[in-house]
Amino acid sequence: MAGTHGSSVDIATPDGTADAYLTHPDDGAPHPAVLFYMDAFGLRPHLRSMADRLASAGYTVLVPNVYYRHGRAPVVELPEFINPADRPEIFESIRPAAGTLTPEGAVRDAGVYLDWLAAHPLTTGGPAGVTGYCMGAGLALRTAGGHPERVAAAAGFHGAYLATDAPDSPHLLADRITAELYFGHADQDRTNPAEQIDRLGKALGAAGVHHHSEVYAGAHHGFTQADTSMYSAEATERHWTALLDLFGRTLRSG
């Protein structure tokens, strides 16, 4: 994408080396930092193109391979176009990699990624923005709750299992969050049913978290992912409008 520069980077963590994609405007100036969390299919060309689009709006964006404990990206072989209905074995192949990331490990990794971004000469050094997709929406929520002083805004799109009955459900961190949050939920999403959307909203409201949640009618889980059968161009553009508005209001003072 014109106007941005992307590169592969390695980030040392307590558990190994996380490979990641870093992209930023090619003007050589520092910009607000954004931590971009992948969906379950992992770091791949489509996510890099999404990160480039975000960078072109004036951000320095880091997309870590959160499966790094399992291996470098791509950790599984993916078709150019992902249709889980035709290839149900894809999820089985991903499961071992996903299993290497615990909630505790995710929060620990988040601190490393935020430190790395804050120290980078092409970031402004202020609190970061976070965005996440699918499983990444839960990681964004955990990051906001685990590092409240470091996150100014966090967004999650077609998030999965955000407010379950589990004792370590992401929504239970609500009372620690100081960031402004935005969620774009898919209404055709078995991983995030209406009762969980309601539970998340009530938890955030009770904790006094500044947040906005919208349900995208007709959208499926994965609607932002153009290399999948779940993609919706209309819902994706709506997501970009909401995300850029959130970051434009919360990160520009950094």
Catalytic machinery residues: 134, 189, 221
Edge to edge, what strands does the sheet with 211-220 contain? 4-13, 16-25, 60-64, 33-37, 128-133, 151-157, 180-188, 211-220
Contact present, 235 and 224 (Cβ < 8 Å): yes
Any bridge partners for residue 123, and if so which? 31
Which residue type is seen at 149?
Answer: E
Question: How many beta carbons lie within 10 A of that of residue 46, not counting itself?
Answer: 19
Nearest to 138 by CA among 152, 151, 157, 153: 157
Residue 59 CB contacts under 8 Å (≥ 6 apart), including other chains: 24, 25, 31, 32, 33, 34, 129, 247, 251
